[in-house]
Structure 1
Amino acid sequence: MADTAKPSLDALFMGHRSTLVRLLSRMVGSAATAEDLAHEAYLKVRAAERDRPVDHPLPFLFQTARNLAFDHLRRERRLAGVVVQDTTVEGVEEVAAPLPSPETQAGDRQRLARMNAALATLSERQRRILLLNRMEGLSHAEIAERLDVSVSTVQKDLKAALLACLEVFARLDREGLRVSAGPNVLQRDKP
């Protein structure tokens, strides 16, 4: 009798990770960014599996990764287009920053409090890895070297930290507190 058991997403990801990273690296031109995008694709597919069964997880993983790479490239292009010629520092300082409405401020404070609560559930090393990766833009290898741990440890801790944050976002979404699509703590705009 043939074994019809579907391999787990973890097994599929680990078995095809190097191929996925090579593909993404060719697309975005950076091995470190490719690693991050592959990991983010895995987390997105994992979150999607919670909502509904995924019949073909491997093609879904690769398509999700390609979409993330295209988003990354569009974001890079947009950031490169923001530079305006012949602008002085004084001219930039004179541009008024729009103030958010009181409702937006209250919602932001509530989201920040929930995110801080999620971060408080993480170990110190998981928090440091998340911040080094998402805020300082360090690759998995750079973080492993800085913290004197293995790259595998960095990947596992980053996965746990991101899953905790995704759970907070899912809870906020269910409660009607939408998380903006713009840059946030979990998105990194630079490679």
Structure 2
Amino acid sequence: MKIYDIEGFPNPVRVRIALAEKGATDKVEFVPVDVMGGEHRTEAFKAKNPDAVVPCLELADGTYISQCNAITEYIDGHFEGPLLTGNTPKERAQISMMNLRAENGLLNAVAAYFHYATPGLGPDLETYQCAEWGNKQKEVAGQTMAYLDSVLADNDFLAGSEFSVADITAFAGLAFADFAKVEIPDSFANLNAWRARVAARPSIAG
């Protein structure tokens, strides 16, 4: 099993945390992709993943799986250990719901701000920008932080009492917010306390 990625980028981080939670990091070969050099947009890479993004999972039979949620779902089902996507239909639905809220409202919103309203990764990679859209998505990210803070007033984790992929996605989203200089207000005490707890997990703290 191979994972094509670039260490430290938000979506690759999500996959690496999931692998660590399952105790499976050493069961995967990581293949670095030169994103800053545009390798992800080459025809050779797009033959593996037409989305032209990382991460991308390659199975032993030659199957390629892209889209971060699909990759983490495969990892969760393939390796032993606590399930990150839920045990029952209700749990799976709730986790999926919160994961999508964290992904669309936080991580992707911060990404849109970074790529569309700031210099982002530089002019060679940021070939289209729209500051109005990017700044609107920055607002969305702030609204989502407020929502997640309210959820964590009554829950240890975003989808209830157990750590899940929703927490992984939100944690990566906040890390991206730091990088993109999107403020995480100190007043969001529940969100900041949750973040500290998650950062202390062995899968993240090392």
**One fold, TM greater than 0.5?**
no
TM-score normalised by L of structure 1: 0.32
Which structure has the larger Rg over C-alpha atoms? 1
* Structure with the larger strand share: 2
TM value normalised by structure 2: 0.31
Flag the structure with higher helix content. Answer: 1
